[in-house]
Amino acid sequence: MKQIWKQTWRQRLAAALIQLLMVLAMAGVGIRMPVQAAEKNAVTQSGEMKVHFLDVGQGLSILAQSEGKTMIYDGGDRKTSRFVVSYLKEHGVSKIDYLISSHYDADHMAGLIGCLNAFDVKNVISSNYVHTSKLYQSFVKAVKSDGLKMQHPAVGKTYKFGRGSFEILAPKTIEAKGSNNNSVAIKLMNGENSFVFTGDAEHESEAAMCNSSIDLSCDVLVPGHHGSATATSWDFLQKTVPEYAVISCGTNNKYGHPDKDTMDKLQSMDIQVYRTDKQGTIVVTSDGANLNWSAEPCNDYTPGDDSDQGTRSTSEVQQEASQTAIGEHVWVSATGNKYHKTNHCGNMNPNTAKEEPRAEAEAQGLEPCKKCY
């Protein structure tokens, strides 16, 4: 009796397992189909936001898509303009809801002219200054011929974008002779996920962002100005506290981007690093809670220029200076042109001798005493 029951039990279990496997297989097919279709048309699923960091060499171009809405933040340089347009087409883009030009330097703006010509653009957001370049004139012309006006929104203005939104972080002020610090910076949000793009904004603009009441914290930061040491200040990193940094720069670029200072900061804060110069185009999908990346972070913290030693922080320099001062004090007499190891070497009056750092004595033109050195 027991034996029979066991067999029946085994048979039932086997049947149940087969049924379960069939259900799983069907469900698997069911799940996989729409994902494949979605990827083919590059349409994000409900609640998703896809952000593409395009490999435009030394430049910046970011495509964001959410629930049928499209944003392009910068378009890279002339050389990659065609690549940007074809990349967008491949990813199902026909209209651009927000075309954002951070600033009018060619490595950010040139490709946007191609986008204005190739796509149905709804809104152009840009910085409120004028560039002297011919390229800027072409940009102005392309905007006008699309019947559009450049919008220069104030800091704090928020736009709905697909499932999420974006907020203007900068520029607070316009530098008369500047370009990089006039960059339009934004915080792009989807549920709990957020991204901060600052174009080529440098320390001055970062300081203004830090002084605003806007919450700068984000999951993903694109370090300003291609990882240059002129951007990504400690204060800005401590306000943004990103988990990931995506650096957009060209392989062996002539500027040596990214700089050692920036990479050292990212490493010391354990920020995971993606780099277009090492990894090409990088795509991340946000479901509102989690980020799903197209690749693992490279976490390559080496600077663009091997010989880059970085600049040391003021506190480090001060610390080192005080160590030198403690270690290398010398004695100098009231008169004379020598400094001494001790105040009683015999070649000086110990009563009028005073102690000072060796560097200071040398700066005064004093030479080491031959007797004690």
Residue 185 contacts residue 199 (beta carbons within 8 Å): yes
Q: Which of 144, 100, 160 is nearest to 125 (CA)?
A: 100
CA distance 128 to 367: 59
To Zn ion, the closest distance from the beta carbon of 76 in angstroms equals 10
Among 167, 200, 219, 259, binds Zn ion (CB under 5 A): 200
Contact string (CB under 5 A) for Zn ion, positions 136-165, x = contact: ------------------------------
Q: Say which amino acid occupies 298.
A: C
d(CA 69, CA 359): 63
Stretch that binds Zn ion, among 195-203, 227-235, 310-318, 342-350 (CB under 5 A): 195-203
In the complex, least distance from residue 71 CB atom to Zn ion, rounded to whole angstroms: 19
Binding of residue 277 to Zn ion (CB under 5 A):
no
Residue 181: Cβ within 10 Å count? 26
> Whose Cβ is closer to Zn ion: residue 105's or residue 204's?
105
The residues with which 99 forms a beta bridge, in sequence order, are: 72, 124
We find the least distance from the C-beta atom of residue 51 to Zn ion, in angstroms, to be 19
State how far Cα 246 lies from the chain centre. 5
Q: Does 202 bind Zn ion (CB under 5 A)?
A: no
Q: Could you say which residues in the range 97-116 bind Zn ion, by CB under 5 A?
A: 105, 107
Amino acid in position 197:
F
Tell whether residue 180 is a contact of Zn ion (CB under 5 A).
yes
CA gap 80, 75 in Å, rounded: 8
CA atoms within 13 A on the CB side of 166: 30
Cis ω before 171 (30° cut-off from 0): yes
Site map 246..275 versus Zn ion, x via CB under 5 A: ------------------------------
User: How crowded is residue 253: how many other Cβ atoms within 10 Å of its Cβ?
Assistant: 18
What three-state secondary structure class fits 276?
Answer: helix
Q: Which CB sits closer to Zn ion, 71 or 231?
A: 231
Closest CB to Zn ion among residues 201, 282: 201
- Given the complex with Zn ion, which of 103 and 340 has the nearer CB atom? 103
**The two three-digit tokens of residue 58, written as one number:** 């030394």
Q: Which is nearer to Zn ion, 49 or 54 (CB)?
A: 54
Number of residues engaging Zn ion in binding (CB under 5 A): 4
Q: Which stretch binds Zn ion (CB under 5 A): 7-15, 175-183, 211-219, 259-267?
A: 175-183
| Closest distance of CB 131 from Zn ion, Å | 10
Residues 237, 262: contact at Cβ < 8 Å? no
CB of 190 to Zn ion, least distance (A): 26
Q: Using CB under 5 A as the criterion, which residues of the chain lie in contact with Zn ion when the complex forms?
A: 105, 107, 180, 200
